[in-house]
Structure formats: structure tokens, C-alpha cells
Structure 1
């Protein structure tokens, strides 16, 4: 938690006021039993009604002041904890946004969601409890002991036996509960992952009639979470009777020994009653301390998970003296590029060498798993190469400012992702200040304008989460329009036209070539028909470039490309035979 305290510093005033108001409440609570003893011994036993009335009014006044203290502490601690939670969530989200793909691969999406929500909520609650209960309990504990000792030192010997036993119980619970609460958070991660996968893939689940299987998956994940919680809570269930036993024996001891002292004349009845009240406050404060320490165990597990995200080393960052000059032409060159996803894995790409001139349309084709998507992901530095160099306009991309680099590149990934909102908002996601003409032009190039204007509200049609109301081809065309509206120097279409027909695909490529001038374009595709009208084709096999040239050149000179071509042509012939 020490590493997270900085998020409370802007709210120092609130974190000071909360304990001060709690101190007021505790002092009022501690003073009440003494006044009660005064009423009993000097009022009730002596039939002094005016003393009872006056002292009672004083008790009411003190209770009212204590209430103000309690309300004030609750208000200030709640504000401090809410601000703390808000800032921590913002920082976590900001950090995740800075992650490279390698960083993101380290954490599951469901785990990041849990850390941003459940784990932060645990820490938020801990802050509020710290400013209230962790202030109240120690003050009540220390104050209760002082007041009890002031009443009778001999009777306080009972504390020497009961308090160490209670402390030992809570220490044992804390030691054993910490790993259990960490397991609870991991089970929440797993359950969130099952729910997320099911909701995202609900159409696949329904089409394959796998509802029973998914229900069983969720039941299993839910049961794992339940068992983890029960295992952790079981410690409390077992410990609480022992705690109550020690507490009741302590009160019984006070009653027995206090009665003996009253009979001997060493104590008054009211003092024994006050002492029992103080004993209750001391034991109650110990219970609060125990509960907060147990919660600290759970919050510590959440804190470690949050800190893990905050301290994750971002492997792709701009250098201090990074080149901030904008990309001018979009000439791309790979020099002896090697890449692997981790130091322990084999190279996914091996000795990649090619050069692309500004404005050229480059096709990338190869077998599944040959490294096509990996290759284009290296250009905007979504991953960093293992060795070699990638040059844009003669400059190593690792020497360029990342923001400048990515501002000049538009990418449409394999999985088309649209966001909740209107079609207009999704297209403008590529350029916030785009005007109507730019929106329509980019949609026309992407061959999306015609189907958009046929929708009920045209460009203002709400498409729903992930674009569920659109077909695959329509989503791809909107995603392409979103990429084109930036007017990038480099455009990457990673299998982004797989859901559109051949004619529409060729119109998109023609539009990119003819309308958006000097835009170097990389098109990853499986279809040989896509490759027929590009300038050059990169042929990949098992992470190695096995061919580079035009469609006609490769058909003549490259056996591997010719084999792909022949297999797809034969497949077309068989389909229409």
C-alpha cells in the first residue's frame, strides 16, 4: 500500500479531517461510561434526581457532539476514498493504454478488467476503513485501557490474559488468509474471462447449441470462486467463537472480581458498570482491529495485482531525443529483420529484407502462420524487432517519436472492432475533427457510402456494441473508412477485405491508389485474386521471404507462389464445375 499512498496526497486535507472528527467521536464515547457511573453512584443510589437530570443532559450533549464527529469522519473518509479510487483507476487505464502488444499479452483482458474494478474497489474500501475504523479502533482500545486503569488497576489484570490470546488468534488468521484472498482474486479473473468469452461469442454458442456446455463452464468457474471464498471465510467462522469465548470469559471475570471488590468496599457499583463498558469497548475495538487486519490481507492481494500493472515495464517507448519530424514520403525498408515474441521462443520472422517505394501497393501472402500479420505489426512498432532495422524514409523507426510514427500510419486489423455509437462517430474515431466532406469521401473510397445512406438514419445510425447490427463486410468497410480518414502515409490492411467480394475489394484498392496519393499500402490477404493488381507481392513461408515481385514475375519465377495460385484456381474451377 505504501506505493499507492501517493494517490491520496492531493487529498491530504480530507485525510487529516477524517481522523480528527473520529477522535472527537472516540473521546465522546470514552467519556460516556464515566458519566454513567457518576449517575449510578451519586444519582440513583443517593436519590439525587437533579444530578441524574443534569448528567443525563450532558450525556445527550456529548452524544450529539460524538454524532457530529462520526458523520464528519464518514463524509471526509468517503470523499478521500472515492477520489483515491477514481485517480487510481485513471492511472491504471492510462498505463494499460501505453502497453505494447507484448505487455498486453502478459495479462488476460479479464484480469485487467478485474484489476481496474474489483481490485481498485477493495483498495478504495481499505482507504475508507483506514480513515475510520483504523483510527477509531486503536484510539478506542488505548483510551479504553487508560480509562479502565484509572478506575481500578487490580481489575485490569484480566487484560494480561485475554488481550494476548485475542491478538494471537488474529495473527494466525492473517498469516493463513493472505494467500487465500490472492486465490479469490484469481478465481474472479477466471470467472470474468468465462463470462466475457461467452458474451462476446454468444452467436457462436447459439449456432452450435453449446449453451449447456457454456453453462457448465460458468458453473465450474462460479463454484471455484465460491469454494475459494468459503475457504477464506472459514477461518473467520472458526475464529469468531474463540474470540467471543475469550471476550465473555473476560466480562465474567470482571463481574466476579468486580463484585468481590464492591463487597469489600474497594469499588462502587457504578464503577463496575463503567468498567464493563470499557471492557466491551476494548474487546469491540480489538474485534474491529482484527477485522480490518483481515481485510488488509485481502486488500494487500489486490494492491500487489494493481502495482503489478503500474510497474509493468513498457518495452516500447520513445527515446528522450526521438526524432519528431513527421513522415514525409512513406518509403519502407526492412534490413535483416528477425523477430520472436520472447527471448525463449524461436524466431517467427527470419532475415526479412525488402524495400517499398512511396505510394506502392504491396500484397503479402503466405501459408497460415507464416508471419504475415506479425510482419505488418512491426511497422507501427506494436512489437519491437529482435534484431535488424526497419527504416521509414531512411530513419530507423526506433529513433522516431512513437506518436509521430503512429500518427502517419493507419491500420485495419484482422478482427474488425467497432465501438458503440453511430457510424459517423466510428469513422471520426480516426480523425476527431473531420468534417462532413472528409467523412463521406473516406466512406466512398471504402465502398461504404452506398449502404450507409440506405440505413434508417444514414451516418447517424447507431450500430450497437462491436457493430453487431452490421454484416462482416459492412464492418470491414467502415473500419477501412476510419483508417482512410486520417489520410495516412502508410496504410496497413491486415486481411481487412476478407468479408467483401472481389469487385468491392478491387474498388477499395483502386480508391486507395488513385484518390489517396502517395499512400504506401500493405495488404495482407489469403486470396490470390487480391494480389493480381498490386505493385509488388511479398511471399512468406515459415517466417522467411521466399518471393518478392509482381504477380506476373512471381508466376514465372517462384514455385511456391505458383503453387498457391494453382491451388486456388483449381478450387475455383471445381466450385463452378
Structure 2
């Protein structure tokens, strides 16, 4: 709760104004029945119209003041609650941007979406009730009971009985519903995951005619959420009957004993009238408190989930005096061990001792799960090693400023991502200051210019979200061009030419050799043709280096490389080359 409330920031002023104005509103409302009793006793029963007019005018003034205080309190409550939710979303989003890949792995994407939407909305509503109703109800309850004690201490005992009864019933309901609401938000994640997965992979769903299966999966997640809500709301429905029992108990008790006190002369008609007003105010305050408890119980699960993201600290941090320049593209792996779960003993890479000269072109090949992507992720410090060190330009990557390092180590990942905007907008992710001419040169090097020139608006053609209006090969070439615009010391292609034909692949490699000869190039590929022209080829097997040599030497001496080569040749070669 403390971590969440810290995000109030400049909206603290609105919060305290709301609390103060609500208190003034309650005071006005509490005094009105007291003045009404005076009108009855001193004005009407005494046949004194002057008193009736004066006190009547006072009640009208107090009513207007109460209305004004209430309206201003509501305005400030809305401002504070909306401001809190906006700040929370910004804080969560900003913190996510600092996460390393290992931090992101702890949270599912649907879980983060639920936290930033449903959870924060519940917290916003609960906070608005907290500063309005949770201030108003206790004050109303305390002041109402105090006025009841002033009017008739003996009858006030009836209220205590009703209050204890309501506290027991409402408390029991809250204990159970709080547990249910914790489950509700976990089910929201499942529901969001089902929707996101279905929409993202809608082409696959339709291609395999799995609509019925997806509908069934969604319906199951929705039904579980429905059942939990019904269970919770069914319990909360007991609030109203319990409230009515307390109200009628108090009305009957006060009417019975109050009538006797009036006959006995120990109470006036005005006092009894005001007592009824205070009864309703007191019991309605309890009812409002029960609603606040419901909202808080709903939001507590969300607060915990929001706090998890806010409290998550990045695994990768910059040193106090970071190195601010990368000298060249040398890469050294010094007996590196790496696992995705530190200390688990399940290494993705084991004893990697590898030394690459600046400007070299290195091919990386190996079976699925051999550690190819894990290897290159360490170069740009997306993860930290468990043992040993990774050096770029002769400096341990942990000593660099992260932004400086990643600006000089450009990565084109397996999953190519484009953003909504023009082609130029997407290219300038690599270099926001790049001119249109520089973008065109990068596209020529990535062999992307030939399909861009055929588009109606050329480089100003709009890319839809996720790059849905370009093919997989076109998307890959745009991502390569985007990476080239950074003019990096190290360029990593993580199986990022798999969707282009071998002729285009060869053209891209040739352009690299001509246009960025000083850049160290690491090419991860499944096709031998993509790496055979590299200066040296690294063969990985089960997270270890199996061989590191030229194409010719590996063909002569390495069994794994021979097997991959022969399987591709016997299988008819690459998809657009004759066998």
C-alpha cells in the first residue's frame, strides 16, 4: 500500500483537500437534525414563528454549504484518484523499460496488461471511495453516536447492539470474499492470455480450423471468472439483509422506548425526531463502510500485484564509473558459464572460451537448443554470465554504460518486430537523427530497397501494427536495415535471414563485406550457405563449443558440421537453389 500511495505525487494536495471538505460536509449534515429538533421544541411547540424562521434559514444555509463542500470534495477526489492511476501506469511502464530479459521472464505479458488496466482501475475506484466514503462514514458514525449520547445515553445502547451485530456479519463476509478476490485476478490473467494468444495467432487458428477449440478455452476461462464473481457477490448480498435487520431493530427499539420517555417527560418530541435521523445516518455510515471494505478487499489483490512490478529491481545495473566508449568490435568469451536461472545448475552455456577479432565475420551453427541465441544475448548484456566474463573492445561488458554498449552492438533478433508508422519511422529506431538518404543506403545494404521502391508511397508507406502488411522476408530486411543505421561496432544476425531466399541472403552478406568491413559480424543460421563464406564458423553442441574453424576445415574434420552439410545437400540444397 505504501509503495502505491507514493505515486500520488502532486495529487497529495487534492487528496487532503478532499478529506478536509468531506469533514466539513459531515459536520453540516450532523448539525442539521440538531437544529431541526430545536425548531420543533423551541419554535413549533412553543408557537414561536421567529425561532422557526431564524433556525429554518440557518438549516437552508447549512444545506447549501454541505452541497458546496460535497461538490468540491467530489471534484478533488476525482482528480486525486485519476492522478494516482495515471502515475501508477507511468511508474509501472517506466519500470518495465528498465527490466532485463530475466526480469521480464518473471511476468507474463497478459499479467502485466491486467496490472496496468483492471488492477489499477480497481485501485483508482477504491482510492476514490477511501478519501470520500472512508472519511465521511467514520466521521458520520462517530458524530452521530456522539449526538445520540448527548440526546439520550440510555437509547444509545441500542445502537451499540446493532453496530456489534453488523461488524460481526460484515467482518465474516469480508474474510471469505477477500480470499475469493485474490483468485479472481489470477483468473483475469488466464482470460487475457487466452484473448491475446488467439488474436496474435488468428491466422494459425483459422488455418488449422481450431476456432471451436479456442472458443472452448476462452469459455472455460470466462466461466471460472464468472463462478468466482457469483460466489463473492452472493456472499456480499448478505450485507443488505444484515443492514435492514439492524435498521429495523433500532427503529423499533427507539420508537418503543422513546415513546415511554416522552410520556414520562424525560425526552422531547424534537429529540426523538433527531434521534431517528441520527439512527439512519449512523447505520448508513456502517453500510458505506462495508462497501469501502468490499472495494478495498477487491483492490488489495491488485495492490499486491502492482507492487510486485514496482518493487522489481533490474538485475542488470550500470557500474558507478561506467566506460562510455567501445573501442572496437573485438569479442572475448573467457570460460563463460551461463544459466537462465542462476544457481540452478542447468547451464545454457558451459565453459565457452572464444576470441573474435574486430571486423571478422563469424558464423554460428548448431542444433535447436544448442545455445546459439544465449551466446549472442550475452554480448549486448541482455543477461549476465554466471561465471567468467564477456568482453567487447577488450572491456568486460559489465563495466560499460548499458546504453553505450547496446548502441555499438546491434542485434537483429529471431522474432522481427516492426511498429505502426511509416517505413522511415521504423528505420529511425536505429538512429532517430538519420536522414532519408542514410535510410535508403541502409536499405540498399539490406536488399530492402527493391520492394520499398515498388510500394505506392515508397519510404513513406505506412507499416501496420506488427508489420502485418509486409511479408516475413521483407520484415527481416527492414529490421536488418534498422540495425545497420546504428553503424555498430558489432552486428549480430540471430537467424534473421531465414525468410529470405539464398540469392538475397548472399547479396546481403556481400553488401556487409563491402559497406561495413570494420564491423564484427556474427551470423546465426540454420543454412550452411548463410555461414560458409564466413571467416570462421562456430559449431555449438549442447551449450558447449564443439569446433571453431573455417568452412573447409570443418568439412574435413568435424562430424556435426559434416552431418548438417550432407543433410542439406542430400535434401536438395537450399529452397531456391538446384540440388
Answer yes or no: same fold by TM over 0.5. yes
CA distance in structure 2 between the partners assigned to 1:215 and 1:37 by the alignment: 64
CA distance in structure 2 between the partners assigned to 1:521 and 1:109 by the alignment: 32
Q: Which residue of 2 aligns with 1:125?
A: 125
Contact 1:330 1:358 in 2 (8 A): yes
Are 1:339 and 2:343 an aligned pair? no
Query: Following TM superposition, by how much is the alpha carbon of 1:54 offset from its aligned partner in structure 2, in angstroms?
Result: 4.1
Query: Following TM superposition, by how much is the alpha carbon of 1:106 offset from its aligned partner in structure 2, in angstroms?
Result: 1.0
Larger displacement relative to structure 2 (185-194 or 392-401):
392-401
CA distance in structure 1 between the partners assigned to 2:506 and 2:459 by the alignment: 24
Q: Which residue of 1 aligns with 2:560?
A: 560
CA distance in structure 2 between the partners assigned to 1:504 and 1:50 by the alignment: 100
Contact 1:359 1:513 in 2 (8 A): no
Q: Which residue of 1 aligns with 2:241?
A: 241
Q: Which residue of 2 aligns with 1:517?
A: 517
* Distance change >3 Å, CA 290–CA 193, structure 1 → 2: same
Q: Secondary structure at the match of 2:355?
A: strand
Q: Secondary structure at the match of 1:572?
A: coil
CA distance in structure 2 between the partners assigned to 1:321 and 1:211 by the alignment: 55
Alignment of 1:162-561 (within 5 A): 162-324=162-324, 326-342=325-341, 343-561=343-561
Q: Which residue of 2 aligns with 1:570?
A: 570
CA distance in structure 2 between the partners assigned to 1:550 and 1:356 by the alignment: 13
Q: Once the two structures are superposed, what CA deviation does each residue of 1:166-192 show, in whole Å capped at 9, x if it has no partner?
A: 122222223222222111111111101
Query: Following TM superposition, by how much is the alpha carbon of 1:48 offset from its aligned partner in structure 2, in angstroms?
Result: 4.8
Alignment of 1:91-130 (within 5 A): 91-130=91-130
Q: Secondary structure at the match of 1:154?
A: helix
Contact 1:331 1:358 in 2 (8 A): yes
CA distance in structure 1 between the partners assigned to 2:134 and 2:13 by the alignment: 18
Larger displacement relative to structure 2 (267-276 or 37-46):
37-46
Contact 2:243 2:283 in 1 (8 A): no
Contact 1:349 1:543 in 2 (8 A): yes
Contact 2:125 2:295 in 1 (8 A): no
TM-score of the superposed pair, with normalisation by structure 2: 0.96
Q: Which residue of 1 aligns with 2:13?
A: 13
Q: Once the two structures are superposed, what CA deviation does each residue of 1:139-174 show, in whole Å capped at 9, x if it has no partner?
A: 111111111112111111102211112122222223
CA distance in structure 2 between the partners assigned to 1:50 and 1:106 by the alignment: 74
Query: Following TM superposition, by how much is the alpha carbon of 1:44 offset from its aligned partner in structure 2, in angstroms?
Result: 4.3
Q: Once the two structures are superposed, what CA deviation does each residue of 1:91-128 show, in whole Å capped at 9, x if it has no partner?
A: 11111111111111111010011112221222222222
Query: Following TM superposition, by how much is the alpha carbon of 1:353 offset from its aligned partner in structure 2, in angstroms?
Result: 1.6
Are 1:147 and 2:164 an aligned pair? no
Q: Aligned residue pairs: how many?
A: 576
Instruction: For structure 2, list consecutive stretches of 5 or more residues without a partner in the other structure.
Output: none
CA distance in structure 2 between the partners assigned to 1:38 and 1:544 by the alignment: 92
Q: Once the two structures are superposed, what CA deviation does each residue of 1:217-251 show, in whole Å capped at 9, x if it has no partner?
A: 11111111111222222221134312321222122
Q: Once the two structures are superposed, what CA deviation does each residue of 1:339-376 show, in whole Å capped at 9, x if it has no partner?
A: 11112251111111211111111111111111111111
Contact 1:410 1:491 in 2 (8 A): yes
CA distance in structure 1 between the partners assigned to 2:435 and 2:574 by the alignment: 48
CA distance in structure 1 between the partners assigned to 2:457 and 2:249 by the alignment: 75
Contact 1:328 1:393 in 2 (8 A): yes
Larger displacement relative to structure 2 (46-55 or 231-240):
46-55
Larger displacement relative to structure 2 (39-48 or 225-234):
39-48
Q: Once the two structures are superposed, what CA deviation does each residue of 1:454-475 show, in whole Å capped at 9, x if it has no partner?
A: 2122212111110101111111
Q: Which residue of 2 aligns with 1:160?
A: 160
* Distance change >3 Å, CA 469–CA 174, structure 1 → 2: same
CA distance in structure 1 between the partners assigned to 2:574 and 2:317 by the alignment: 51
Instruction: For structure 1, list consecutive stretches of 5 or more residues without a partner in the other structure.
Output: none
CA distance in structure 1 between the partners assigned to 2:512 and 2:50 by the alignment: 96
Contact 1:173 1:294 in 2 (8 A): no
Query: Following TM superposition, by how much is the alpha carbon of 1:543 offset from its aligned partner in structure 2, in angstroms?
Result: 1.0
CA distance in structure 1 between the partners assigned to 2:508 and 2:179 by the alignment: 56
Contact 2:527 2:574 in 1 (8 A): no
* Distance change >3 Å, CA 574–CA 391, structure 1 → 2: closer
CA distance in structure 1 between the partners assigned to 2:63 and 2:460 by the alignment: 60
Larger displacement relative to structure 2 (124-133 or 135-144):
124-133
Contact 1:539 1:561 in 2 (8 A): yes
Q: Once the two structures are superposed, what CA deviation does each residue of 1:187-215 show, in whole Å capped at 9, x if it has no partner?
A: 11110111111111111111111111111
TM-score of the superposed pair, with normalisation by structure 1: 0.96
CA distance in structure 1 between the partners assigned to 2:449 and 2:272 by the alignment: 87
Q: Once the two structures are superposed, what CA deviation does each residue of 1:282-308 show, in whole Å capped at 9, x if it has no partner?
A: 111111112212222222211111111
Contact 1:427 1:439 in 2 (8 A): yes
Query: Following TM superposition, by how much is the alpha carbon of 1:60 offset from its aligned partner in structure 2, in angstroms?
Result: 2.1
Are 1:68 and 2:68 an aligned pair? yes
Query: Following TM superposition, by how much is the alpha carbon of 1:277 offset from its aligned partner in structure 2, in angstroms?
Result: 0.8
Q: Secondary structure at the match of 2:369?
A: coil
Query: Following TM superposition, by how much is the alpha carbon of 1:5 offset from its aligned partner in structure 2, in angstroms?
Result: 2.4
